[in-house]
Amino acid sequence: MISFVLGVEDLADTWFAVSPLHEAVVALRVLRAPGLFPLHARWRADVLRRLDPADARLLAALVGDALTLPDFLTPRPVSAAPTLEEELAAVRATPPEIVRRDLAAAHAPAPLPPALRAVTAPGDAPVAELLEELVALLRRYWETALAPLWPRMRLVLEADVTYRARQLATGGPHRLFTELHPHLRWRDDGVLDIARMIGRHRVQAAGRGLRLVPSLFAHQPAPPVSAEEPPSLAYPGRGAATLWEPAPPTGAPALAALLGAPRTTLLRMLADPLPTVELARRLGVTPSAVSQHLRVLHAAGLVTRARDGRHVLYRRSPLGDRLAAGDDGP
């Protein structure tokens, strides 16, 4: 078990980040262990078909036998929406001793794979060369595997952040962490326990706060491997299946007769907050067409809306929930 000890100051400095590099690196587990990720089987097959075989081998070498990953490849986000280039710059700036520590920890107790053993040579030059190679590799991998999907992924991840932030606001850390994943347990003494971890250590946040990073490729919570890293936690985000699903069915004939088929479909899609562009993507129509229907649904009191950064998120109202469920009320 890994535990984070969080004081009041740390809880006040707990926030979410949507990280492109975290998502890319966590997705390496899908390439290494497809049996754990059947949802992403078609994505994996497509990526392996397009990746250079030498790149695929080096990427696989970064993942330990227990699916552990080197911490330096997932630097702690310093903003809520870091860019890939900002995060790759942080990887390139990793001190050599940290690179050696993290690679050894990810593969322990096994030795490093041959592709990574250069870092054990004397001096810092081999580590610097490997870092440059890895930065270039991760950029190529990103462009091949995730860049085409990232606009959709980012919207799903942002919707998850909005949902989790509402949990934190309405139920405090106990509700947030209890519902985040079954492996997490929030204790009244300010300790967050993460069960079923390979590591066995306790990290004092000591004013450094906590970073929470949703991932559509994570299958369980993933804190840093090293006890020396400040508290951060990648966790399985909601809505991973929506990346691959077709547009939902129209819905019940009676509701469609009342609202029309397009508005009925939108109402059924809005069980969770979604922005206009994501709704348009799933339906295969223009955002302007969706906006017209959303205005009508909002005016009728069937959906609510709230701004979240650059996006306006729509969600069913209580009345919309009742209509979508076929509940006519008392």
Q: What is the pLDDT of residues 226-241, one digit of tens each?
A: 989 999 999 999 888 7
If you average pLDDT over residues 137-141, what whole number do you get? 97
Same domain? 264 vs 200:
no
| DSSP state for residue 222 in the 8-state scheme | B
Residue 257 has pLDDT above 50, yes or no: yes
Last residue of a domain, one of 201, 236, 271: 236
Final residue in a domain of this structure, among 216, 236, 256: 236
Q: Residue 316 above 80 pLDDT?
A: yes
Full domain range(s) for residue 279: 246-324
Same domain for 140 and 255? no
Rounded mean pLDDT, 289-303: 92
CATH number for 257: 1.10.10.10
Q: Which of 192, 215, 236 is the last residue of a domain?
A: 236
Same domain, residue pair 214 and 304: no
Q: Are residues 50 and 163 both part of a single domain?
A: yes
Full DSSP string of 245-304: --PPP---HHHHHHH-HHHHHHHHHTTS-EEHHHHHHHHTS-HHHHHHHHHHHHHTTSEE
Instruction: Give tens-digit pLDDT for 77-132.
Output: 999 999 999 999 999 999 999 999 999 999 999 999 999 998 999 999 999 999 99
Taking the C-alpha atoms of residue 118 and residue 115, their distance in angstroms, rounded to an integer, is: 7
Q: Are residues 192 and 72 in the same domain?
A: yes
Pick from 70-74, 174-178, 218-222 the range whose average pLDDT is largest.
70-74
Give how many domains the chain has, as a whole number.
Answer: 2
- Asked if residue 49 and residue 90 are part of one domain, the reply reads yes
Asked if 305 and 158 sit in the same domain, the reply is no
- Determine how many CB atoms are found less than 10 A away from the CB of residue 90: 18
Q: Are residues 162 and 16 in the same domain?
A: yes
Considering the domain architecture, whether residues 209 and 261 belong to the same structural domain is answered as no
Q: Would residue 329 count as lying in a domain? A: no
Q: Look at residue 283 in the predicted model and tell me its pLDDT.
A: 82
